């Protein structure tokens, strides 16, 4: 749906295909001062619709030969675009839950969890035949922890491969004893849920993660002979060359080693979750000292100063979690990511809290998840708009270059 001029009362149905937004039904406008008729329609329907407009002009005693016709196919710049992916889908919520359950079940089976240990997503009959089920077992994620809250508010800026997919399968002790089994599913860095697989898990403690880029990012080929040696390690990192495997030798041998890695590089969408998370948290550091705009728009306090003055417990929790993740070179620490967080009481007491549990308890309310959902969709929408603007800019440049070639005088 397109809301012309951002007005919710002026809605117009549109079709989105290949990132091009066209009106579902043609329409037009007429500027009497300039005798300009603008027809908004897809290329396939514009010619036929022009005939309709001509008849309308004639009916109003206007000469079509004195009118200038302008055709516009893309209409996304006319207002605010709203994408309602649930429209026309029966039992959408049930299908959504089953979709997340299917993803979590597949990952649990891949990790070696017995089929008998995932009863909230797989129902087994007497013959051992399984059926995917919806048992109202989805828990929406909300960034309760201080560090996660900061990360999610600035995720497109902090995450190097935004948007991404993340799966984290983990068991967690229950307050009343025993273990529960969850799978955290994060799609496009936007759709984030915990899937409860078993509230009474009897298997071995487990942790398994999978992290994947959703967009292909392949750097252009580099010839190290044209690069200063001080930048070789930077290039090696871009092409994922493991320099620790270099067995030794002079500078020429080192250059040849990196060049072989560059020449044989192929894009792998699978990412290292602890490494990517560490990089994201490191990017938080300069963000903390940025000056926030005050009421008059001028720079005021930094993020850290604001938290210290207004939310001291959040301030302590943020620094404590950053220290936990970054102070030690231990990837197992990142198993806490999205499974738990540190809560700091006003009296200074600290406690590690379960994310799935706390996301279901007061003070969490439906409004918190709704507001957070708006934030995440807004971030993804901004990314789409930026991509469309970049594509339009590139198209304009190509057209301009073509026009320049046409207009150039013969030599």
pLDDT at 82 > cutoff 70: no
Structure tokens given for 380: 């993804």
Residue 410: what pLDDT?
Answer: 46
- Sequence-ordered alpha helix ranges (H) in 113-174: 146-153, 155-158
| For residue 140, pLDDT beyond 90 | yes
Q: Where are the alpha helices (DSSP H) in 11-91?
A: 43-59
Lowest mean pLDDT segment, chosen from 147-156, 246-255, 391-400: 391-400
Residue 5 clears pLDDT 80, i.e. is over it: no
Percent pLDDT > 70 in the chain is 86
pLDDT the model gives residue 385: 73
Q: What is the structure's pLDDT at 268?
A: 76
Task: Please write the tens of the pLDDT for every residue from 347-383.
Answer: 889 999 999 999 999 999 999 999 999 899 889 888 8
Q: What is the pLDDT of residues 273-301, one digit of tens each?
A: 998 999 999 999 998 988 767 666 666 78
Give the pLDDT band (50/70/90) at residue 390: low
DSSP 3-state assignment of 264?
A: coil
d(CA 392, CA 400): 12
Strands 36-40 and 68-72: parallel
Cβ count within 10 A of residue 178: 13
Q: Which residues pair with 411 in a beta bridge?
A: none
Model confidence over 202-236: pLDDT tens digits? 999 999 999 999 876 667 789 999 999 889 998 89
What are 86-133's pLDDT values in tens digits? Answer: 666 778 888 999 999 999 999 999 999 999 999 999 999 999 999 999
Give dist(CA 258, CA 238) in Å, integer.
Answer: 11
Single out the residue of 312, 323, 338 nearest to residue 152, CA to CA. 338
Answer whether residue 254 shows pLDDT above 60.
yes
Instruction: Summarize pLDDT for 32-53 with one digit per residue, the tens.
Output: 899 999 999 988 888 899 999 9
pLDDT at 408: 45
- Based on the number of CB atoms within 10 Å of its own CB, is 337 exposed (0-12), middle (13-18) or buried (19 or more)? buried
Q: Quote the tokens at residue 325.
A: 């993740």
Angle of CA points 80, 82, 88, to nearest 5° = 155
Evaluate whether 28 touches 9 at the Cβ level (below 8 Å). Answer: no
Overall size of the chain counted in residues: 411
The predicted-structure confidence for 323-347, as pLDDT tens digits, reads as follows 999 987 787 899 999 999 999 998 8
259 has a pLDDT exceeding 50: yes
């Amino acid at each position: 749906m397109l809301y012309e001029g951002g007005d919710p009362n002026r809605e117009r149905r549109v079709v989105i295909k290949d990132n091009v937004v066209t009106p579902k039904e043609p329409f037009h406008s007429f500027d009497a001062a300039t005798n300009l008729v603008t027809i908004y329609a897809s290329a396939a329907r514009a010619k036929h619709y022009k005939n309709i407009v001509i008849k309308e002009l004639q009916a109003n005693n206007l000469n079509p030969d004195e009118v200038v016709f302008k055709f516009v196919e893309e209409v996304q710049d006319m207002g605010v675009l709203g994408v309602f992916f649930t429209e026309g889908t029966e039992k959408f919520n049930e299908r959504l839950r089953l979709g997340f359950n299917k993803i979590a079940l597949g990952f649990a089976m891949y990790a070696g969890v017995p089929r008998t240990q995932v009863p909230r997503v797989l129902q087994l009959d007497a013959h051992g035949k399984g059926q995917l089920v919806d048992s109202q077992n989805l828990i929406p994620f909300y960034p309760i922890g201080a560090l996660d809250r900061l990360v999610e508010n600035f995720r497109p800026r902090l995450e190097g491969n935004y948007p991404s997919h993340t799966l984290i399968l983990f068991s967690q002790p229950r307050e009343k004893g025993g273990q529960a089994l969850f799978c955290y599913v994060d799609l496009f860095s936007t759709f984030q849920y915990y899937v409860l697989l078993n509230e009474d898990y009897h298997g071995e403690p487990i942790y398994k993660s999978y992290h994947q880029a959703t967009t292909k990012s392949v750097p252009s080929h580099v010839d190290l002979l044209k690069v200063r040696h001080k930048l070789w390690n930077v290039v090696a990192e871009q092409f994922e060359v493991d320099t620790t495997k270099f067995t030794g030798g002079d500078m020429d041998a080192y250059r040849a080693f990196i060049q072989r890695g560059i020449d044989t590089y192929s894009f792998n969408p699978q990412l290292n979750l602890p490494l990517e998370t560490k990089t994201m948290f490191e990017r938080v550091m300069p963000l903390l000292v940025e000056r926030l705009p005050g009421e008059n728009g001028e720079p005021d306090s930094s993020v850290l100063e604001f938290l210290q003055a207004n939310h001291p417990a959040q301030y302590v929790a943020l620094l404590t979690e950053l220290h936990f993740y970054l102070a030690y070179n231990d990837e197992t620490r990142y198993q806490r990511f999205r499974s738990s967080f540190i809560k700091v009481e006003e009296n200074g007491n600290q406690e590690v809290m379960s994310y799935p549990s706390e996301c279901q308890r007061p003070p969490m309310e439906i409004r918190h998840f709704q507001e957070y959902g708006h934030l995440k969709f807004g971030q993804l929408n901004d990314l789409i708009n930026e991509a469309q603007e970049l594509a339009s800019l590139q198209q304009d440049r190509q057209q301009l270059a073509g026009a320049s070639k046409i207009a150039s005088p013969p030599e």
